[in-house]
Amino acid sequence: MSEKIFAEYKDRLPNKILEDLKNHLPPKISAANLKEIFRLVDGEYQQAQVDPGESVGLVGAESIGEPGTQMTLNTFHFAGVAEMNVTTGLPRIIEILDGRKIPNTPMMEIYLKAPFSMGKDIKQIAQRIKETKLMEVISEFVINIAESTMEVRLNSEKMKALQLTVGQVIKVIDKNTKNCSVKKDKEEILLKMRGKHDTLNEIYKLKEKIKILYIRGIKGIQQVLPVKKENEFVIITAGTNLNEVFQLDFVDTARTISNNIHEIEEVLGVEAARQAIINEVYKVIENQGLNVDVRHIMLVADLMSKTGTVRGITRYGIVSGKSSVLARASFETPIKHVIEASLVGETDQLTSVVENVMLNQPVPVGTGLPGLVTRVKK
């Protein structure tokens, strides 16, 4: 009997409420009582829903905006144990909602698979992820002016830690330099310029060039920091590269995240980006000890991801997609929009709120939304 009633309300009530009901009902309940409970719950639920025509955007804007005034304006602060600067507070929220391509402080949280998450080889893993430039394994440069040659002495300890051989380093240098010969000389590398003209100048240029050659790790990751989080080790990085990190076999691809929304969109799709926007904004608000309902943030995230790509709330983003000239002009750079619209002879259907406010007409919100149509007698 009770199943039948449950089934009846399956489409009317969300799953969560149905489950809560199921868990809280007394084991023995008469059908009539159950029916009455459902009637009341359903009534409450329908009452709690937003009415058609409610200006949810405005309510959302105020609900995020007011606590926003209380947020710290500091761009940087030290985020607890992690010895890294992280953008938080208002600047971070602005950054997310503007849909910036690259965040001010790109970061990743890399979760690891079973044996490694308990701390096995954690140092090597961190080292493996960090982008290593040649500079870091070089102990010194010796430049011979008379013969215009350069000796590169390598730091053998660091080489060992990175599991690098001299041969591999020579290969990298050889691949990325022109007109110079690269030779191995015991544990050193000997570089000799070919050609005669101005070789000394060239050799200094070469020195700067090979310093920044890429040798190991994942491009774009400048810093790594293994941190113990609850019961497992997590690697926090400065700099992001989700695509390459996901290809490492010791990385838990289900939980590893980046704070770059556009990167998430590229690797995981818009839906994941939408969820990331919600999580990131909510994280900031929560960190500041403020209280904003998630629904407001969900609305913003839905709007930003509506077109299939993440677009920021800027005049180049979602505002540019508005159909009304006056609505676009009311946001930023009004003269530009008005001139462009007049050049192509754009028409404004006056279907939205802003343009009707401008023209002193009832806005299509709440009771202003429905129109009345009467059939005239012939």
Partner 1 sequence: MIIAKRDYMKKKIHITKHDLLPKHVKISEKEKKAILKKYQVTLKEMPKIMKADAALQGMKAEVGDMIKITRKSPTAGEAVYYRVVTDA
Q: What residue ranges bind partner 1 (CB under 8 A)?
A: 14-17, 19, 121, 124-125, 128, 162-163, 216, 218, 243-244, 246-250, 253-255, 257, 264-272, 275-276, 279, 294-295, 298, 302, 305-309
Residue in this structure with the two tokens 């990167």, named with its chain if needed: 263
If the CB atoms of residues 139 and 243 are measured against partner 1, the closer one turns out to be: 243
For residue 267, the minimal CB distance to partner 1 (Å) is 6
Token representation of residue 30:
């008469």
For residue 273, the minimal CB distance to partner 1 (Å) is 8
Within 8 A by CB and 6+ apart from 293, the residues are 63
If the CB atoms of residues 190 and 353 are measured against partner 1, the closer one turns out to be: 353
For residue 219, the minimal CB distance to partner 1 (Å) is 9
Q: What are phi and psi of 225, to 5 degrees?
A: -145, 105
Alpha carbon 169 to its chain centroid, in Å, reads 35
* Residue in 246, 198, 191, 199 with CA at minimum distance from that of residue 218: 246
For residue 19, the minimal CB distance to partner 1 (Å) is 7
Per DSSP, helices labelled H in the chain are 2-8, 15-24, 31-48, 56-68, 89-97, 114-117, 122-129, 156-161, 166-176, 199-211, 242-245, 261-268, 270-287, 294-304, 325-329, 334-344, 353-358
Token representation of residue 324:
């009304």
For residue 193, the minimal CB distance to partner 1 (Å) is 29
If the CB atoms of residues 85 and 168 are measured against partner 1, the closer one turns out to be: 168
Which helix H or strand E contains 227, and what residues bound it?
strand 223-229
Token representation of residue 104:
């001010």
DSSP annotation of 237 reads E
If the CB atoms of residues 205 and 295 are measured against partner 1, the closer one turns out to be: 295
Phi-psi region of 80 (alpha: psi -120 to 50; beta: other; left: phi over 0): left
Within 8 A by CB and 6+ apart from 155, the residues are 137, 138, 139
> Percentages helix, strand, coil for the chain, rounded to the nearest 5?
45, 15, 40
For residue 290, the minimal CB distance to partner 1 (Å) is 17
> What Å distances lie between residue 291 and 56, 59, 70, 98, 167, CA to CA?
18, 15, 11, 22, 58
If the CB atoms of residues 49 and 360 are measured against partner 1, the closer one turns out to be: 49
If the CB atoms of residues 143 and 268 are measured against partner 1, the closer one turns out to be: 268
For residue 149, the minimal CB distance to partner 1 (Å) is 30
If the CB atoms of residues 120 and 205 are measured against partner 1, the closer one turns out to be: 120
If the CB atoms of residues 125 and 327 are measured against partner 1, the closer one turns out to be: 125
If the CB atoms of residues 70 and 307 are measured against partner 1, the closer one turns out to be: 307
For residue 139, the minimal CB distance to partner 1 (Å) is 21
- Looking at the DSSP bridge assignments, the partners of residue 180 are 193
For residue 95, the minimal CB distance to partner 1 (Å) is 18
